A and B are shown apart, each in its own frame.
Chain A
């Protein structure tokens, strides 16, 4: 049976409660290089609670079978698990069941959208699919803070179709230049794809305002919710976006499963990307008809056990309370940024302490390359990400090729943030760099 954790209370999370949460994550209880592990790389991938691992195992031990086919009992049980999981994850973001498509991850979701738009842009296209077409004279708008996953697929779409690619620049503090944005939305804008939360600066974009600006010019809105769905209460209907994507592995679920949200009317009109089994109605030697969403976009055997475990993961988050998770991480993030700002030679990317931001901090250490920073922190047991975090244009804009990023989740304690800060303070002295 799925474990019912004992840590679900009202009011803000506390260190005592987080210590109980940590009991559900056995991987966190270990030493690395002789030091207690301080895992601050959840922005890359999160750790998994026991209940999630058990959900996947339970599926294989008791229900494993192909879904949506076969008349036998196991096939029905597996289909129920698969579709119940869809309902759970859909509800988690405020969507209807038929509006949630399983994907491998957010990258796969973004490519699905971009390739489907591409399929609507070339060759014989149905009347209902024309709304997704882009071509010469049209523009796809992104932002300068995008992860490569929400940039390169659009570059490719533009290359294939002749559409132009524009971007909203960022300000020095990492936030979007809203004045520039206002001028970039024109009647040429057909698609606006942007991230909810920056994976580097922690900037939380004003989704409602941006979406309204895009809709005012008739553009379709694609939200990269990869760094928001795991960390704050997400309601796609309230945000009014047309599409949204996120990855399971960043929110306590296994790798190999993610989700794409799309308005039902849009998904049912959009040409499919991957075609083949499980997504068709009638197939002749010449042509095929396609099922409505979500099956329309789920060709081939899906990641069934992972979907089951994804549902367990979002239940874990829901029961803990997404508002509480967000508040806790925001507090950890503020503690981190304020602490980093107090260390000589450290420059935090993005908004300074006291300003709203997600529970992560990317920073530059004057005189020490990010790779060396990460190596030093690893020796202190602290796991962080180094490099460009799949956001080269953002780093280039901030005058860097790489940075070090520490990212929190609901299982991190204030003590861990302090251990991280103490380790960072040792970096420049170790490498013989002095001065502020």
Chain B
């Protein structure tokens, strides 16, 4: 597989079109008056204009806290959109701590410049994004939704 094909795997092109979770209404982008247990974050990559507003809903507290919903609105390249879509498919039902660990693992893989193999056990379909790590200029694209989700999760504490 060429480096380009490993970057743009079929699942990524499909997810970029599917945009699972991209249902945050336009009138809720400001993130005002969020209910308890809900966080929202806007992330912008000023280099390319990729943009996402991501809302995370949680249930329970402390070690019992779980992700109960994810909604986002955004625009950007196939990598950033596929990443947000894959994230949305995978994290509902995950424990907050488990999700935090997943973000950490994903970040480590992304920053490895292709040296770390993604563990599908930990990352699921997001492992397909590991080809991005060989393209340092695109790592931010892949991280955009994850950084937003991490920030949103922090707001639910």
Contact = CB atoms under 8 A, between A and B. Distances in A.
Interface string A373-398: 00110010000001110001001000
A402 B51 CA distance: 12
Nearest to A392: B49
Interface size on A, as a range, is 10 to 19
A370 interface: yes
A372 B78 contact: yes
Nearest to A396: B49
A81 B7 CA distance: 50
A266 B148 CA distance: 50
Contact of A371 (B2, B13, B50, B51): B50
Contacts, number: 45
Given A375-B135, A387-B49, A401 B75 contact: yes
Nearest to B10: A432
Given A33-B3, A401-B75, A402-B48, A371 B8 contact: no
Contact of A376 (B4, B49, B75): B4
A347 interface: no
B65 interface: no
Contacts of A33: 3
Given A369-B77, A372-B77, A431-B78, A401 B4 contact: no
Contacts of B78: 368-369, 372, 431
A432 B13 contact: yes
B1 interface: no
A374 to B, nearest CB: 9
Interface string B78-111: 1100000000000000000000000000000000
Interface in B17-50: 47-50
A33 B4 CA distance: 10
B3 A386 contact: no
A369 B138 contact: no
B4 A371 contact: no
B76 interface: yes
23 contacts: A368-B78, A369-B76, A369-B77, A371-B50, A371-B76, A371-B138, A371-B141, A372-B78, A375-B4, A375-B7, A375-B8, A375-B135, A379-B2, A379-B4, A386-B48, A387-B48, A387-B49, A388-B48, A392-B49, A401-B75, A431-B8, A431-B13, A431-B78
